[in-house]
Amino acid sequence: MSNTPQNVTDYPNDNTYFLVWNFKEDILAEKIKAGFQRICALVININNSALDRFPDSKASCVMGIGHEAWLKLDLPKPLPKELKAFEPIVGDKHIAVATKGDLHFHIRSDQKSFAYDMSSMISDFMKDIADCAVEVQGFRYWDSRSILGFVDGTENPHGKDRDYFSVINEQDLKYQGGSYLFVQKYIHNLDAWKSLSVEEQEKVIGRSKDQDIEMDDDVKPKNSHIALSNVGDDLKVVRDNMPFGNVATNEMGTYFICYASTFSTVEKMLTNMFIGDPPGNYDRILDFSTAKTGTLFFVPSLDMLADFSG
């Protein structure tokens, strides 16, 4: 049996929509299950249509399923080994909050119109059975920089390593081709960030701002973002972070999104950042970036998604 992954290894695109939906509490379970079957079929249809109609647009839609939704929908058991309800990671100063999410849609296209149309189609199908909890429109900022001005994702794996670190292989035969998806919506305190000199900002990140060169280990602060978020060459994830926000209200942020073959890798990274390594040595970037959401999903293979569609 083939276990073809969804488009989790695609590179970040120019136009991205992130949508989190929660099933309505007052809707009959059978109606939710029927709606879920339709949405699985729609996601497959959208991706096939994108390949036929806009082959050069790098368009795709990836759907993830939360722990509570997996149980509510009576999906296969035992569950994927590391799929669970994400619990807050509480440090002395900062918290990786946990928020509810039943379905997550990651929509990408170089053509903004097509990204919008895909999001609109998803929403038209979902609105009768669920409420949208998060809608974020991400955009590419210069050479893949965050709004903080630093390149985001330099440590991302490339080539075959993207499949290795983002897609489940031999360790979970039933769910081969699937991925663990974790997301957080961060809001930046840009006034505080801009008050720092470039040299101070570089110490927070652990890289040079203009040239994106990592500091030497004997110079890089132990509480820099690079020092704490990178947990080893054999423990990586595929990040597809995108900036978003409203300039007039100065509410700008980063939507952190990663695909991983094991969620334990993500947990280790978050623990380092929010609790610290050693405890108390938390990630300095958190003094300027606040996590407003935090949810774990499982992304089934395309074959399993087809099974779910009935």
pLDDT of residue 171: 66
How far apart are alpha carbons 55 and 49 in whole angstroms?
A: 9
pLDDT of residue 54: 87
How far apart are alpha carbons 24 and 185 in whole angstroms?
A: 22
The tens digit of pLDDT for each residue in 255-292 reads 999 999 999 999 999 999 999 999 999 999 999 999 99
Helix pair angle (29-53, 112-126), 10° resolution: 160
Residues in the chain where the model's pLDDT stays below 70:
1-2, 171-172
- How far, CA to CA in Å, does 31 sit from each of 65, 73, 129, 132, 165? 17, 10, 7, 17, 36
Identify each DSSP E strand in 89-227 by its residue range. 89-90, 95-96, 103-109, 130-139, 179-188
- How far, CA to CA in Å, does 98 sit from each of 101, 183, 185, 292, 296? 10, 10, 11, 9, 9
172 Cβ contact list (under 8 Å, min separation 6): 80, 81, 178
How far apart are alpha carbons 87 and 98 in whole angstroms?
A: 6
Q: Which two tokens stand for residue 227?
A: 């020092």
Structural element, H or E, at residue 270 = helix 263-274
DSSP 11: P
Are 242 and 16 spatial neighbours (Cβ–Cβ below 8 Å)?
yes
Give the bridge partners for 60, in sequence order. 108
pLDDT of residue 79: 96
pLDDT of residue 2: 63
Closest CA to 135 of 58, 245, 61: 245
Active-site positions? 152
Q: What is the CA radius of gyration of the chain?
A: 19
pLDDT of residue 1: 41
